[in-house]
């Protein structure tokens, strides 16, 4: 797995124009957007998505056939992709958090503590999106993988809308139902969200391993 990680890091270092563009976009967002949550989520999501690009590069020109002729296991390959995704997402998360805090302090738009709390709330969402997209990318590859992932996200929204409509028809007040539930503190909610995101990431990794073991190159 170490060799795969070095390969992806070197591939990342060769994409200088991509990261210069991300840095430029980050500076533009800081100068024109006051909503720090958007800045943090956007940059972190773009960084995590770079993992999908490395999968595309591996598949290009039947590259996986050569890759798996080396001492590389399919489960090790999957583990490296998730690890690299966490590394990229985490690095971009820290970078976006830093520039958001600096922007908030300079422009007096938000306190550093408030920005940190917002960033902590965003991080599990990025993990969930990463867990959803990698299996589709491994299964379908390239454009089809992205379309399939978008379709799943869209389906989730459709299900939420259907549930809301069904509740209206049955005259069930979902907001009132949620208000009656025992109230949890902010720390408990974040902890539960992180635990759910970690569990989903592990489930996603096991699905990805199963997908890779069935693929032929």
Q: For the chain, what are the domain ranges?
A: 2-214
Sign of torsion over alpha carbons 70, 12, 116, 154: negative
pLDDT at 177 over 60: no
Rounded to the nearest integer, the mean pLDDT of the chain is 77
Q: Which residue has the higher pLDDT, 43 or 157?
A: 43
Query: How are the residues of the chain apportioned to helix, strand and coil, as percentages rounded to the nearest 5?
Result: 85, 0, 15
pLDDT at 204 over 60: yes
- Averaged pLDDT for residues 194-211: 89
Quote the pLDDT of residue 154: 66
Q: Which residues contact 132 (CB under 8 A, 6 or more apart)?
A: 149, 152, 153, 200, 204
Q: Which residues contact 92 (CB under 8 A, 6 or more apart)?
A: 22, 43, 44, 46, 47, 48
* Model confidence, pTM: 0.78
- Averaged pLDDT for residues 84-91: 86
Q: Which residue has the higher pLDDT, 61 or 70?
A: 70
Quote the pLDDT of residue 196: 87
pLDDT at 216 over 60: yes
């Amino acid at each position: 797995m170490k060799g795969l990680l070095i390969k992806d890091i070197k591939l990342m270092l060769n994409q200088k124009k991509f990261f210069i563009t991300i840095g430029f976009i980050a500076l533009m967002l800081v100068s024109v957007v006051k909503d720090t949550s958007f800045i943090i989520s956007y940059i972190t999501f773009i960084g995590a998505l770079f993992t999908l690009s490395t999968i595309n590069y591996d598949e290009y020109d039947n590259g996986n056939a050569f890759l798996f002729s080396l001492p590389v296991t399919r489960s090790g390959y999957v583990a490296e992709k998730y690890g690299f995704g966490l590394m990229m997402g985490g690095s971009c998360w820290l970078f976006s958090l830093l520039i958001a805090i600096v922007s908030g302090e300079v422009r007096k738009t938000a306190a550093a503590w408030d920005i940190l709390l917002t960033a902590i709330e965003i991080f599990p969402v990025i993990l969930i999106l990463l867990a959803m997209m990698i299996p589709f990318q491994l299964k379908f590859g390239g454009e089809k993988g992205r379309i399939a992932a978008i379709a799943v996200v869209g389906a989730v929204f459709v299900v939420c809308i259907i549930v809301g409509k069904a509740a209206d028809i049955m005259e069930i007040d979902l907001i009132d139902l949620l208000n009656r539930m025992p109230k949890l503190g902010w720390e408990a909610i974040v902890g539960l969200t992180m635990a759910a995101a970690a569990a989903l990431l592990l489930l996603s990794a096991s699905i990805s391993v199963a997908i890779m073991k069935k693929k032929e190159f």
